[in-house]
Amino acid sequence: MTVLIKGGTIVNADRTFRSDVLCEGDLITAVENNIEPPERATVVDASGQYVMPGGIDPHTHMQLPFMGTVASEDFYTGTAAGLAGGTTMIIDFVIPNPQQNLLEAYDSWRGWAEKSVADYSFHVAVTWWDDTVHADMRTLVQERGVNSFKHFMAYKGAIMADDEILVNSFTRARELGAITTVHAENGELVFRLQKEIFEKGISGPEGHPLSRPPEVEGEAANRAIRIAEVLNVPLYVVHNSCKQSLESITRARNEGQRVYGEVLAGHLLIDDSVYLDKDFNVAAAHVMSPPFRSKEHQDALWRGLQSGNLHTTATDHCCFVAEQKAMGKDDFRQIPNGTGGIENRLEVLWHHGVSTGRLTMNEFVLITSTNTAQIFNIYPRKGTIAVGSDADIVIWDPEATKTISAKTHHQNVDYNIFEGMTVKGCASHTVSQGRIVYKNGELMVERGAGRYIDRPPFANYYDALKIKAQRSEPAAVNR
């Protein structure tokens, strides 16, 4: 398929300029003015609109088996909903059960993801440790296109990684040229607080944020950062929800440490009052970890984006319908953790970020696409409008408005955390692999069209040390 986008304004992370864009097959082949339409090309008039690299969501959980149930959103419906909102790629998570072989879990997730309609990749969680995990990490990096490993510092008794696991896995990731990522919450403290709060008679959703205060997130973030500092490995901290974790990231970056921070669109815009809603279904629909925080934390997170100490925006898209959330009707600890958002991430960030002056258009592209592509080593294949890059593009109408609602969204969940929010600025077209897959409200997706995207490792740490040593050796003298 050949698609020519004419008359739009290109917005990349580094600059904004007027140009046409020609997509042939799955690649961008020309970015220049006054391109003549090739024979049989589909021409899209983008006059008055912005042409931007498709969004990349670095944190989703499609079809996740979790807390005794399975997320309602699978890889088909989830990636389709993403395309409707301008997100053309996701990085999901393989999460092995304790003692489960990492490659076995990876193969299961790859099978589930074959129905995807947009491109995808995987982080792999390390939930336990022995010699087989050590070996599997090498296979994943060198043969399966994985360059990032996730560690849950919460969920005691299930998938929590203690300090011993962190040290072993971080060391191995460094050897392999991979980046480490953490869900930063002190699992021991959460477990104790959950028990104490429930025993006090607090059983509803309001107990959820009480059992996971900002301090447990800040402590875990700082601990992971300092472990990474000692082991000299890069670290990516997912879904920062509070100023305590942000302060740890900022301090480490000021000291020269390679630490990156992610923030969810929901944590920027929703406060903890939702857990006091008298309707259990509404309150439970917002139960996720870390929980939504008070407004002071939202203000701090926006400043983190503006200052460059938070680098990416995500959704942690992990949907459970009301019937599943009701598993915790009498005990907040049993409410499946997770919310949606993949369809609306770009819309709400544009409306509350660009339109308010908090973000420039270029910063918007940076935090919704380019930084993710660069941090996870798929740039410039993804994350920019440039010749040779993948033809993953969103055409953005800054004048379009919509009111977000579960009644009209494409996400496979019966509630929307942005329910009733009116936004200005939406995708008019989404192009994935050079094909128009969304056009003015109509999805035109093909089941299984999504591709698995290999993410190559970074420079091997020990190879880098050897190179450094060789450069410091005195040159040989010919005699």
In this model, does residue 476 exceed pLDDT 80?
no
| The predicted structure's pLDDT at residue 463 | 55
Report pLDDT for 101: 97
Query: Above pLDDT 90, what percent of the chain?
Result: 96
For residue range 343-388, what is the model confidence (pLDDT) as tens digits?
999 999 999 999 999 999 999 999 999 999 999 999 999 999 999 9
Strands 312-314 and 259-264: parallel
| CA 206 and chain centroid, separation | 26
* Domains of the chain by residue range: 1-479
Q: Which of 92, 111, 84 is nearest to 432 (CA)?
A: 84
pLDDT-based confidence at residue 203 (cuts at 50, 70, 90): very high
Topology of domain 1-479, per CATH? TIM Barrel (3.20.20)
Q: Which of 375, 312, 274 is nearest to 57 (CA)?
A: 312
Q: What share of the chain is helix, strand, coil (3-state, %, to 5)?
A: 35, 25, 40
Q: What is the DSSP string of 289-341?
A: SSPPB-HHHHHHHHHHHHHTSS-EEE--B----HHHHGGGTT-GGGSPP-B--
What pLDDT score was predicted for residue 417? 98
In 3D space, the residue among 314, 308, 316, 317 whose CA is nearest the CA of residue 260 turns out to be: 308
Interatomic CA distance for residues 208 and 61, integer angstroms: 20
The mean per-residue pLDDT over the stretch 115-119 comes to: 98
How does the average pLDDT of the chain come out, rounded? Answer: 96
Query: How is residue 263 written in tokens?
Result: 């923030």
Q: Is the dihedral of CA 270, 275, 280, 285 positive or negative?
A: positive
DSSP labels, 128-187: S-SHHHHHHHHHHHHHS---EEEEES--TTTTB--HHHHHHHHHHHHHHT-EEEEE---H
Least confident of 46-60, 198-212, 264-278, 454-468: 454-468
Tell me what the mean pLDDT of segment 265-276 comes to.
98
Task: Name the token pair of 217.
Answer: 């997130």
Average pLDDT of span 28-50: 97
Res 460 pLDDT > 70: no
Cα Rg of the chain (Å, integer): 22
Dist CA 405 CA 318 (whole Å)? 17
Report, as an integer, the average pLDDT of 233-248.
98
3-state secondary structure 438-473: EECCEECCCCCCCCECCCCCCCCHHHHHHHHHHHHC
In whole angstroms, give the CA distance from residue 269 to residue 298. Answer: 7
DSSP assignment letter at 353: I
Instruction: Say how far apart CA 395 and CA 55 lie, in whole Å.
Output: 11
- Kind and range of the H or E run holding 250: helix 243-254
Query: Which of 52, 57, 66, 49 lies closest to 11, judged by CA?
Result: 52
Contact (CB, 8 A) for 168 and 129: yes
pTM, to two decimals:
0.95
Cis status of the peptide bond prior to 290, with omega within 30 of 0 = yes
Q: Is the pLDDT of residue 164 over 80?
A: yes
Report residue 459's pLDDT band, with 50, 70 and 90 as the boundaries. Answer: confident
Type of residue numbered 31? V
Task: Say whether pLDDT at 217 is over 60.
Answer: yes
Instruction: Please write the tens of the pLDDT for every residue from 408-429.
Output: 999 999 999 999 999 999 999 9
pLDDT at 323: 98
Tell me what pLDDT residue 467 has: 46
Closest CA to 178 of 414, 419, 444, 375: 375
Q: Are strands 119-125 and 87-94 parallel, antiparallel or unpaired?
A: parallel
Q: Tokens for 42?
A: 């589909």
Q: 150: which 2 tokens?
A: 């996730």
Sign (positive or negative) of CA dihedral 289, 335, 318, 113: positive
> Is the pLDDT reported for residue 468 higher than 80?
no
d(CA 25, CA 70) in angstroms, rounded, equals 36
Q: What is the mean pLDDT of residues 208-218?
A: 98
- For the segment 462-474, the average pLDDT, to the nearest whole number, is 49
Residue 230 has pLDDT above 60, yes or no: yes
Q: How much is the pLDDT for 470?
A: 54
Please name the residue that has the structure tokens 């929307």: 416
